[in-house]
Structure formats: C-alpha cells, structure tokens
Amino acid sequence: MTKEIRVQDIGEQGLLQRLQSFCPPDLIGDDAALLSIAAGHSLVVTTDTLVDGVHFSDRTTSPADVGWRAVAANLSDLAAMGAEPIALTVGLSLPGSVTVNWVEQLYQGMIDGLQPFQTPIVGGDICRSSVISLAITALGQVRPAEAIRRSIAQPGDAILITGYHGASRAGLELLLNSELGNALEKTAFDRLVQAHQRPIPRLDVVTLLTDLRTQYPDLRVAGMDSSDGLADAIVQICRASRVGATVKRDQIPVPPEFTPWVSNAQAIEWMLYGGEDFELVLCLPIEIAEKLLVQLGDGAAIVGKITAEQTVSLQNKDAIVELSLNRGFQHFSVR
Amino acid sequence: MTKEIRVQDIGEQGLLQRLQSFCPPDLIGDDAALLSIAAGHSLVVTTDTLVDGVHFSDRTTSPADVGWRAVAANLSDLAAMGAEPIALTVGLSLPGSVTVNWVEQLYQGMIDGLQPFQTPIVGGDICRSSVISLAITALGQVRPAEAIRRSIAQPGDAILITGYHGASRAGLELLLNSELGNALEKTAFDRLVQAHQRPIPRLDVVTLLTDLRTQYPDLRVAGMDSSDGLADAIVQICRASRVGATVKRDQIPVPPEFTPWVSNAQAIEWMLYGGEDFELVLCLPIEIAEKLLVQLGDGAAIVGKITAEQTVSLQNKDAIVELSLNRGFQHFSVR
C-alpha cells in the first residue's frame, strides 16, 4: 500500500523531506552546500544528464540501477581526471505520478554506488516535468600537476586499459534477449549483466597512480574514460594530443564470458564500440605502465602505443585498419 | 533560413561544437573541468532545474530570458551564502525539433547574465528528451567563517532586505495581461517586466559585506535569498535558527510602479508571497545593518527584528497576523 504513494500525494516538500535522509544533515538546509577542498588541490567538476527512454528504460534498468549507473558515470569522469571525489548534487525532474518508492529506490541506488567512495549527496533540486530526468554534477579534487588530461599524450607512451571492454554491451544484449545466453553459466551471465547494470568507476586506479607518484613525482598521465567506447577514447586522446596510435587487436583482452556465445566479429565490435564499460584508457611511459599493470586485475592490458604520425590504426594478424569515430554514440544523429 | 536549422539536423556533436564558443577554450575538452579555489576558501555548490511549461513558457519568456533567469537564480543562491561565483555547468535536455537558434539564444542569455560577474560556463551535457529542461550547477567560494547561513540568526538582529519585493510577480502579471498596465508609464511598465525577465542577483551585497568585515572581522550574517518570497525567507530563517521575528508591514517598501494599478491588498500579497525577486534577506546586528543599508539602493530596508519567541508576526497599523508558509510555492501540490 505504502508503495503506491505518488509524488503528487506528498508534494515537493514532502519528497524533499524523505530524500534528506539520504544526505548528510550538516550539508543541507542552506541555499547551497559548503564543502572543503584540500590545500594545493584544484576543483574538478563534471555534469551528466540521464533521461527516461533515452539513457534508461524500465525494460533493462530498475530505479536502483538507474541511480547506480548515473553515479558511476559521474565518478568515472572524476577518475578520468585523476581526481578523488568530494560530493555530488542531484537535479531530479519527474511527473507527479511517479511513486515515492521509485524515487527512494533511485536514491538508494545512488547511495549504494557512492558508498565505497564515501561520497555524499550534498543537495539538489526536485521539480515537476512530463519526463523523468536526472542531472548529476560530481565534484572532485586533484593537484593540478597530477590531473589526467586528454591532451598530454606523447609519442612512445604505452596505451594501457584498466579492464575488459565490451562486457557492458554484452550485458545489455542479454537483458534484451536473455535466450542468447542459454549457453552461458549463470555466474557468467550475471557478471555480464552486472557489468551493464552496476559498473564500477575506476577510482582505485587514481589511488594506485598517487602511490606511483611517490616513486615518479613528475609522472605525466594522459587519458580519459571509455564510457563512449574504447575506440572513441583512443581517437579522442590522439586528437587532443595531436598524435596517433597503433593498437594491437590481439592485445585487447576478450571478456572470458564471451566464449560460448559471441562471434569474433561481434566481440571486436562490442570491445571497440560498445561503450559504458567505464574503464580508464591511460597513456604513460612504458616502464611505469608495466608497473601499474601488475597491480590491476584481469582485463587490464597494454594494448598499443602512441605514435608521432597522426593516424590511429588497429593491427590484426593479417591487416591494419584505421580506427574511426563514425560508430561512436551520438544523440540526435541522423541515421 | 539558418534560423530553421534544428538540433536533429546537426546532432549532439554539432550542437556541442557550436556551444563551445560560449565556453572558455582552456576549460573544456576533458572529462571534467579543472578550477582553482582561493586559499582558505570553501567550495559552495548549488543546483537548479528548470522545466519548459513549469518554470518558463514561450508566452512570457524568450529563450534568452530563460537563460538569464536560470543563471540569476543560481548566482542568487551563491549570494545567499555570501559566496563569490567561480563557474557554472549546464545540463540541457531537449527534443531534436528545437531550433539551433533557440539553443544559441538560451546560451546568449546565460552569457549575458553571467557577464557582469565574469563567471564562465565550464561545461555540461546535452541530451535528447521529449521536454526542454535545464539543470544548472553554480560553484562559488567563501571563507567558511564568512558564510551566510540560515541557522545563525540571533534575537535582536535586524532583518534587512536588499531591495523591493513583489516587482517580479507584478511584471509576470503585466506579461500575462498587458492591458492591466494601461495606467502605467512605459518606463515603469518596462521596469516591472524587467524585474521578472532579467532579475539581478545581489552579488554586490557580498562585496559590501566583505568591505564591512575590514571594520567588523567577526561579523555574523544570517540569511537567504527571497526567491520563494519574502515571507518564506523570513520563516525559513526563523525555523533554521529556532527564533521568531516581528516584521512591520509599513517598513516593507512598496515598488513605486505599483501606485496607479495595484490595490493595497494585492501589493502586500505580491510583496510577501510573490517570489522570484532574488533579493537577500539578512539578519545582523542593527548598527551594522544600518551601515549596510545606506550603501544599498531604493527598496532596501530594515523591516523588522529577530525575537527569542518562536513566532513570526506581521504587524500592521491595526493588527498583528502570523506569517505562514501555506501560500509558498510548491511543486506537485494538491490544490
């Protein structure tokens, strides 16, 4: 019965009061939140908007998963800058007919996604709209000299990926057509679905890089996250740094869950263009990349290197193809 | 002809490229923006969401005005914390059928509203939705001891308002029924419409308070902005500070443009409950309030004082009524 209470039944203030239990009490109650930044650190800020029917749908995503994924995407942008998280704000628009239970599950998903990183939600805004949308701004901090930038890759750098690619796209496929996974063990099936529904931002890599800096104080790391796909990330870094890259196809680890059901061609398609794996793609001197690599889990690999020549090529056993962005995800695109 | 290009014709990347001309080039191009905070300052962060048909409509608001008002509301939240602005992020969702010209006018309105405060837009997100919505996060900085808080008002404090109230509500009425303003001079008519369409956040008051602090280094200022109405602001401050207030009706300045067309009863209604004037309501020791007052323009006034007794009363010549929040604006409210 209580599950059926709708937002319009309790009003904006009623909903805000319920949601305040998800926020630290000392950080709310004023027109804005007040936060500390560590000395010598710059502020890092990133915003993402998710819209019902575009970025999520009831078919593949529970409200808790929507919350988790929204938080993961934003924390991943902070990790992509080499930053540690400080806080999040949430702007939520929704029809009054949405149940309060749906909203509370959304918030619970966000809290669960934030919990390992001890990052609070410090406020936000709720308003009426004909469509549910969620605008999240994540705030982090980094010493400016230690920021990971897209534009600072140099010829000779190793290209390191922090984990498997394509798993999120495969998980989505299984959610849409679960019979495709008939040949899969349940644990493998679940791992792929989890990769899609509950991606984990690689803030642990930021900590590892901080540790490496005690040995290499001048360490320069270029990079970004692979939220729009591995191919997109490599091409974006090369463009911003005015360099090129050679990537070796057989050095990109194939998720082991692919074996019984995904063709080779499909696998490479998902690994390069699937997107939403939220791994990091880093460019750094080879000897340091190798030290970092041994501390990362399965799926991490050095997949190629940065070149002075400004083309991005993918080398197969028997062919070299130029990587392009044409298949990257774009909203509003005319097909 | 070019005015008819729609977002769906140029895609997300095409639109982002056009909008980048509104952002400082050194602050975009990575997964997140990198910003400096002054030493000894805390970060202040606030988020607002505006939805087409709820917070604005083509009837009363051009896209440039939507942009201006969105920015003004967010900068006002920073002013309400005693903070100076650092930067804004913008999350925009919209149908592909919206014209590029509409979006560019929206951004131009934001840039115009930010210009006096030299505050950049440092990034954001664009995505497809069935309804236009705009989520803005404003970032500012303040020395923590100098933050204006709702919860620190003390009995005996003067209640100072920084300008006229009710003008924005009156301007909206004139936009909806322009014949109501037949008795008004054009300049007066325009001032009221301007108060609604182009409110000015009171960041100048933050500067004045900073100057006052050279004389009064321990100055404590409680307060908030009056975006939800003057009555709402006073009641919210009293609740947060566990105090009460007596407000004198005849000390609240009536906008001079009201004289020929607004009844007394209507005037007090709009002044107390109209909202969106984006003035500040400050509680501070009387002698300092008086020093601040002489530096503020017409419409600023000391309208009452904070009391230990926890009721908020409005004193008329002949009656005392208790101020309530019942008429404050709430989304989703059941009428």
Residues of A in contact with B83 (CB under 8 A): 32
- Closest residue of chain B to A43, computed from CA coordinates: B35
Which CA distances in Å does B171 have to A134, A251, A285, B183, B273?
Answer: 31, 65, 62, 14, 14
Same-domain status, B16 and B85: yes
pLDDT at position B190: 96
User: Is 70 exceeded by the pLDDT of residue B119?
Assistant: yes
Residues of A in contact with B135 (CB under 8 A): 47, 49, 91, 125, 133, 135
Same-domain status, B202 and B110: no
- Cβ within 8 Å, pair B334-A124: no
CB A8 within 8 A of CB A98: no
- Cβ within 8 Å, pair A34-B43: yes
Which residues 265-324 on chain A approach chain B with CB closer than 8 angstroms? none
- Cβ within 8 Å, pair B91-A135: yes
Asked whether residue A332 is assigned to any structural domain, the reply reads no
pLDDT at position B23: 79
Which residues 41-70 on chain B approach chain A with CB closer than 8 angstroms? 41-51, 53-55
Same-domain status, B28 and B139: yes
| CA distance, residue A33 to nearest chain B CA (Å) | 5
- Cβ within 8 Å, pair B43-A35: yes
Same-domain status, A162 and A124: no
What is the total count of domains within chain A?
2
Other C-beta atoms within 10 Å of A133: how many?
Answer: 26
Cα-Cα-Cα-Cα dihedral sign, residues B63, B64, B65, B70: positive
Q: List the domain range (segments joined by +) for residue B310.
A: 148-322
How many Å apart are CA A308 and CA A285, to the nearest integer? 15
Asked whether residue B327 is assigned to any structural domain, the reply reads no
- Cβ within 8 Å, pair B332-A12: yes
Same-domain status, B7 and B21: yes
B39 touches chain A (CB under 8 A): yes
Mind spelling out the 3-state secondary structure of B177-241?
A: CHHHHCCCCHHHHHHHHHHHHCCCCCHHHHHHHHHHHHHCCCCCCEEEECCCCHHHHHHHHHHHH
Residues of B in contact with A137 (CB under 8 A): 45, 47, 89, 91, 137
- Cβ within 8 Å, pair B127-A151: no
| CA distance, residue A187 to nearest chain B CA (Å) | 33
- Cβ within 8 Å, pair A331-B81: no
Which residues 135-164 on chain B approach chain A with CB closer than 8 angstroms? 135, 137-140, 142, 144, 147, 149-151
Q: Within 13 Å and on the Cβ side, how many CA atoms surround B137?
A: 32
- Cβ within 8 Å, pair A51-B240: no
How many Å apart are CA B195 and CA B193, to the nearest integer? 5
Same-domain status, B83 and B201: no
pTM as predicted: 0.87
- Cβ within 8 Å, pair A48-B91: yes
- Cβ within 8 Å, pair A332-B8: yes
| CA distance, residue B14 to nearest chain A CA (Å) | 10
Q: What is the CATH number of the domain that holds B288?
A: 3.90.650.10
Kindly report, residue by residue over A143-156, the tens digit of the pLDDT: 999 999 999 999 99
- Cβ within 8 Å, pair A87-B331: no
How many Å apart are CA A120 and CA A27, to the nearest integer? 9
- Closest residue of chain A to B6, computed from CA coordinates: A332
Residues of B in contact with A15 (CB under 8 A): 332
- Closest residue of chain B to A150, computed from CA coordinates: B30
Terminus-to-terminus CA distance in chain B, angstroms? 45
User: Is 90 exceeded by the pLDDT of residue B104?
Assistant: yes
**What is the arithmetic mean of pLDDT over B118-132?**
88
* Pairing verdict, β A222-225 and A280-284: antiparallel
Q: What is the CATH number of the domain that holds B113?
A: 3.30.1330.10
Asked whether residue A91 is assigned to any structural domain, the reply reads yes
Same-domain status, A137 and A166: no
Asked whether residue B330 is assigned to any structural domain, the reply reads no
| CA distance, residue A94 to nearest chain B CA (Å) | 10
User: Is 70 exceeded by the pLDDT of residue B316?
Assistant: yes
Residues of B in contact with A24 (CB under 8 A): none
- Closest residue of chain B to A90, computed from CA coordinates: B47
Same-domain status, B8 and B128: yes
Same-domain status, B15 and B97: yes
Which CA distances in Å does A277 have to A172, A249, A271, A326, B148?
Answer: 11, 18, 9, 19, 42
Same-domain status, A139 and A180: no
Beta-bridge partners for B89:
B137
Residues of B in contact with A50 (CB under 8 A): 127
Alpha-helix runs per DSSP H in chain A: 7-19, 63-79, 100-114, 167-176, 186-197, 203-215, 230-241, 264-273, 286-293
**H or E element, residue B55:** none
Which segments of chain A have a pLDDT < 50? 1, 327-335
A15 touches chain B (CB under 8 A): yes
Asked whether residue B22 is assigned to any structural domain, the reply reads yes
Check residues B326 and B92 and name the one with the higher pLDDT.
Answer: B92
- Cβ within 8 Å, pair A43-B139: yes
Burial class (CB in 10 A: 0-12, 13-18, 19+), B137: buried
How many Å apart are CA A146 and CA A209, to the nearest integer? 9
Which two tokens mark A30?
Answer: 């004023």
Other C-beta atoms within 10 Å of B176: how many?
Answer: 10
Q: Which phi and psi angles does B271 have, rounded to 5°?
A: -65, -40
Choosing from B92, B110, B144, the residue where a domain stops is B144
Considering chain B, what percentage of its residues have pLDDT values greater than 70?
94
A128 touches chain B (CB under 8 A): yes
Of the pLDDT bands very low, low, confident and very high (cuts 50, 70, 90), residue B83 is: very high
Asked whether residue A165 is assigned to any structural domain, the reply reads yes
Residue with tokens 């909206």: B172
Asked whether residue A331 is assigned to any structural domain, the reply reads no
Of the pLDDT bands very low, low, confident and very high (cuts 50, 70, 90), residue B16 is: confident
| CA distance, residue B45 to nearest chain A CA (Å) | 5
pLDDT at position A3: 64
Asked whether residue B333 is assigned to any structural domain, the reply reads no
Terminus-to-terminus CA distance in chain A, angstroms? 45
A96 touches chain B (CB under 8 A): yes
Same-domain status, B186 and B246: yes
Choosing from B93, B110, B144, the residue where a domain stops is B144
Choosing from A77, A112, A143, the residue where a domain stops is A143
Same-domain status, A78 and A218: no
CB A203 within 8 A of CB A84: yes
pLDDT at position B182: 92
- Cβ within 8 Å, pair B81-A332: no
- Cβ within 8 Å, pair A54-B128: yes
